[in-house]
């Protein structure tokens, strides 16, 4: 009976939140997959410029979801406490923050060409990237609004609504990009700029439709009834206090993986290629784990708002177990049949790829350990985020990634001549340290409820 109770009361509510968010993340990532395919048809230079912009835009979106993740935290607490007026106030201040942040971001997108040139990119590549960025810049405001609306839905625990919206609209993004890149149905062929304008038009359309739907829906209308009434921003500083450390943490982690990739490149082209094969699976898998962590945050937020303190710790433990079991299953695949994963990129029978394949097999073996500890780290981060503890997680990321993983990985790769394996070993050690610190912090924070 105890086992069935855990499944019914802890596991299923968590999965009900996490699964739609995981599907949403995977579907959204398909947009960039198709855009890469479209741009590759225009030539290697266009694809390279698109990759440059995708890296910048992807990093921005990750940071924004970190900052506006504070919205779902506060709304989940208000929802658990049945404070509708509080939810409206948080939502109003979130839109204000979106407007404040979009101005410097717009200026960055319009003037980043000089930064690309400073980092050694060719003038021809930067000129193409500028066309893409200029088009994207006009869609930043609706993109920010959409992120706020998505975090609002997540905070309420309505991740299924977000999933349905994503499933219905992602094909529209892909279609708009296709039409404007290649000039279909009477529209001009805009090339790489068409990818940006396609996303911009789709963002404006989706933000307008979703906004109208939420404001006039019987279920969501109460939260928007006084959204346009000017009041003193009660939660703006709290959103920034919680969100900025999360945004900084995500930027630090994105920068770490970029730095690790650059270090891997100094080892050799084959090591870099093998590392890329391994990393291409890390992104989708981590998006699933982030969904579980966010479900933990929301579920705990509802329980904290309702003052159901006895359930809070159980939710965190359930989330860690779900993440670890999922990554444990993936680890078995990494250890037993890595060649199947590698064959997606390389012909296993081609002798010219033998060294790269051999390196990739080794990377997958170590990456399996890294991902198990990494998924626990991310889930614990989600639990601490529900407790409104984001500064400690930021410091932990700085220490574990930049203070331990990168220097240790470089030392193992060069001094002990472990090559790319050394970098992955450093990442494992950094992840283990981070888990230990976050576990200690979670216990400390939970003491005040008992």
Residues 45-61: tens digit of each pLDDT:
777 777 677 767 777 77
* Assigned token pair, 291: 């969904």
Predicted local distance difference test score (pLDDT) of residue 334: 96
Q: List pLDDT tens digits, range 212-252.
A: 999 989 889 988 887 777 778 888 889 999 998 988 888 88
Tens of pLDDT along 388-444? 999 999 999 999 999 999 999 999 998 888 999 999 999 999 999 999 999 999 999
d(CA 96, CA 81): 24
Q: The pTM is what? A: 0.86
Residue 24 — left, alpha, or beta (φ > 0 → left; ψ -120 to 50 → alpha)?
A: alpha
Residue 44 has pLDDT above 70, yes or no: no
Specify whether the CB–CB gap between 206 and 147 falls below 8 A.
no
At residue 1 the predicted structure's pLDDT band, cuts being 50, 70 and 90, is very low
Q: What is the mean pLDDT of residues 165-192?
A: 88
pLDDT recorded at residue 437: 96
| Rounded-to-integer distance, Cα 35 and Cα 177, Å | 7
Q: What pLDDT score was predicted for residue 374?
A: 95
Whether 9 shows a pLDDT value over 90: the answer reads: no
> Alpha-carbon distance 80 to 224, whole Å?
18
Q: Percent helix, strand, coil in the chain (nearest 5)?
A: 85, 0, 15
Closest by CA to 212, choosing from 142, 286, 117, is 142
Greatest Cα pair distance, the chain, in angstroms, is 68
- 332 vs 159, more confident: 332
- Nearest in space to 181 (alpha carbons), one of 57, 44, 36, 45: 36
Average per-residue pLDDT for the chain: 87
- The tens digit of pLDDT for each residue in 64-114 reads 888 888 999 999 999 999 999 899 999 999 999 999 999 998 998 888 877
DSSP 48-104: HHHHHHHHHHHHHHHHHHHHHHHHHHHHHHHHHTT-HHHHHHHHHHHHHHHHHHHHH
Average pLDDT over residues 124-148: 89
**Residues of the chain with pLDDT > 90: what percent?**
44
pLDDT greater than 70 at residue 7: no
In the numeric block, the tokens 């006084």 are attached to 226
Average pLDDT over residues 12-38: 81
| Residue entry with tokens 């994105």 | 254
């Amino acid at each position: 009976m105890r086992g069935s109770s855990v499944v019914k009361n802890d596991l299923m509510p968590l999965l009900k939140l996490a699964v739609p968010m995981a599907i949403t993340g995977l579907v959204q990532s398909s947009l960039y997959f198709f855009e890469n395919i479209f741009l590759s048809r225009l030539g290697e230079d266009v694809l390279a410029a698109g990759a440059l912009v995708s890296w910048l835009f992807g990093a921005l979106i990750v940071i924004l979801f970190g900052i506006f993740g504070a919205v779902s935290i506060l709304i989940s607490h208000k929802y658990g406490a049945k404070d509708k007026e509080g939810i409206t106030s948080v939502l109003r201040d979130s839109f204000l923050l979106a407007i404040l942040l979009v101005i410097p971001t717009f200026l960055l997108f319009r003037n980043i060409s000089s930064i690309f040139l400073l980092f050694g990119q060719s003038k021809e590549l930067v000129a193409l990237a500028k066309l893409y960025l200029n088009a994207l810049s006009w869609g930043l405001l609706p993109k920010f609004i959409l992120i706020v609306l998505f975090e609002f839905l997540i905070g309420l625990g309505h991740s299924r609504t977000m999933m349905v919206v994503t499933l219905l609209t992602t094909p529209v993004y892909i279609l708009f990009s296709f039409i404007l890149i290649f000039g279909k149905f009477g529209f001009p062929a805009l090339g790489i700029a068409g990818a940006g304008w396609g996303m911009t038009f789709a963002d404006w359309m989706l933000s307008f439709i979703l906004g109208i739907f939420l404001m006039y829906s019987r279920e969501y209308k109460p939260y928007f009834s006084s959204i346009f009434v000017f009041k003193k921003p009660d939660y703006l500083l709290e959103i920034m206090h919680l969100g900025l450390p999360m945004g900084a943490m995500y930027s630090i982690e994105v920068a770490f993986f970029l730095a690790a990739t650059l270090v891997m490149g100094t080892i050799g082209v084959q090591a870099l290629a093998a590392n890329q094969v391994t990393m291409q699976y890390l992104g989708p898998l981590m998006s699933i784990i982030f969904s579980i962590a966010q479900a933990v945050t929301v579920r705990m937020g509802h329980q904290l708002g309702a003052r159901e303190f006895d359930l809070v710790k159980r939710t965190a433990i359930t989330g860690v177990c779900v993440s670890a079991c999922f990554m444990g299953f993936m680890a078995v695949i990494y250890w037993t049949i890595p060649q199947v994963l590698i064959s997606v990129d390389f012909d296993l029978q081609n002798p010219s790829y033998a060294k790269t394949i051999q390196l990739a097999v080794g990377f997958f073996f170590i990456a399996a350990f890294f991902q198990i500890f990494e998924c626990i780290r991310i889930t614990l981060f989600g639990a601490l985020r529900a407790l409104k503890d984001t500064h400690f997680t930021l410091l932990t990321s700085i220490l574990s990634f930049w203070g331990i993983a990168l220097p240790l990985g470089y030392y193992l790769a060069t001094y002990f001549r472990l090559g790319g394996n050394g970098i992955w070993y450093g990442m494992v050690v950094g992840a283990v340290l981070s888990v230990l610190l976050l576990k200690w912090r979670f216990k400390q924070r939970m003491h005040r409820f008992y």
